Amino acid sequence: MFSDYIKLTGRGEKGRRSLTQAESFDALSSYLKGDAELLQLAVLLMLQRVRCETAEEAAGYIEALRSKISPQWKTLQADLDWPCFAGKKRQPPWLMLAAKVLAENGTRIVLHGYNAVDAIKYQVESACPLLGITIAQTPEQAKQCLDESNICYLPLQSYCPELIPLLNLREKVGLRTPLNTVARSLNPSNAPYAIHGVFHKSYEKLHAKAALLTNETNLIAFKGEGGESEVNPRVSTDICAVQNGVYIEQEWPTYLNEASGAHTEVSAEYLQKVWTGEIEDSYGDAAIICTIAVILKQFEPEKSQSDCLLLAEQYWQARKR
């Protein structure tokens, strides 16, 4: 019974324990099949949130939700999975220009996210139309976009609508749940590479270890600017990763040592003007170059960080404005 999982997680300090990967899979699967109520799942998730979910619990939830995703999404032949669930507040989503540059250079990229997860922040999906990134609703549309431009965006509704009411629990309980971690990890196209941004320090390790348990072969996770999958060039970046099926850690030094970090206009229009060169933004340039570089390093781990940064800068300067 589902209540047994609540008891295991919520007993007194000496009696409680974390769920195993198999138990977490069974718990969420029970809810998805209609054998448990939303209230029960919410209680379990909040109990896990209080002490922080484990990699095993996250992995079980990831597997349960992946089982609801149509296998057709795996036919896209994507290279890079790029979840965008945090939104931006201080800076525009520079990651989108980084993604466009990589797409121009041959990487097939699937961006995906949920537009209503935080109405206060500017969401990636909102900027897609002006930046020429198609929002695909079906696997057929996504494949056509990738074949034509190497990039597309998938709204969560298109590949895993069952997760939406669970993410909306955050509005009712006032806290994120373990499923906010899980949402970034679904990799609907089963791309061989993935980049995850996290908001809270230490969650990068959780993402990488959950990836190992769910058979991801190449993933990088780090504390991104505003929690998004974008490098903050004003600070050093600690990356937890899975590289060819092995857990590793790496540090990237600060790229901009004396930047102000002042707020910038957060809009697609501003991003478009930076892309065309109408506006110069040194912070934006740095964020884009650093984000591209960590991905290039993921693709070719034998390359040095400085080589990846140099190539990323060349890609950015040579973009089709």
Q: Give the CATH number for residue 28.
A: 1.20.970.10
Pair 155, 283 in one domain: yes
pLDDT averaged over every residue in the chain: 94
Quick one: pLDDT band at residue 259, thresholds 50, 70, 90?
Answer: low
Overall average pLDDT of the 261-273 stretch = 87
**100 and 51 share a domain?**
no
Residue 292 has pLDDT above 80, yes or no: yes
Give the tens place of pLDDT for each residue, 110-143: 999 998 655 668 889 999 999 999 999 999 999 9
Q: Where are the beta strands (DSSP E) in the chain?
A: 80-83, 109-113, 151-155, 193-198, 218-223, 237-243, 246-252
Residue after which a domain boundary falls, among 44, 66, 88: 66
Contacts of 109 (CB under 8 A, 6+ apart): 78, 79, 80, 82, 99, 102, 103, 150, 151, 152
pTM over 0.85: yes
**Which pLDDT belongs to residue 200?**
83
Q: Rounded to an integer, what distance in angstroms lies between the CA atom of residue 91 and that of residue 42? A: 32
Range of the domain at 127: 74-317
Is 149 a residue whose pLDDT tops 90? yes
| Domain count along the chain | 2
pLDDT at 14: 76
Instruction: Kindly tell me if the per-residue pLDDT of 273 is higher than 90.
Output: yes
Q: Clarify whether residues 121 and 194 are in a common domain.
A: yes
C-alpha span between 25 and 98 (Å, rounded): 35
Indicate the residue among 66, 87, 117 that finishes a domain. Answer: 66
Which pLDDT score, from 0 to 100, does residue 267 have? Answer: 94
DSSP-assigned letters across all residues of 67-131: TTS-GGGGGS--SEEEE--S-BSSS--THHHHHHHHHHTT--EEEEE-TTS-TTSBPHHHHTTTT
Mean pLDDT confidence for 184-213: 95
Mean pLDDT in residue range 52-79: 97
* Rounded CA separation 188/62 (Å): 11
Contact (Cβ atoms closer than 8 angstroms) between residue 233 and residue 291: no
The verdict on 43 and 96 lying in the same domain is no
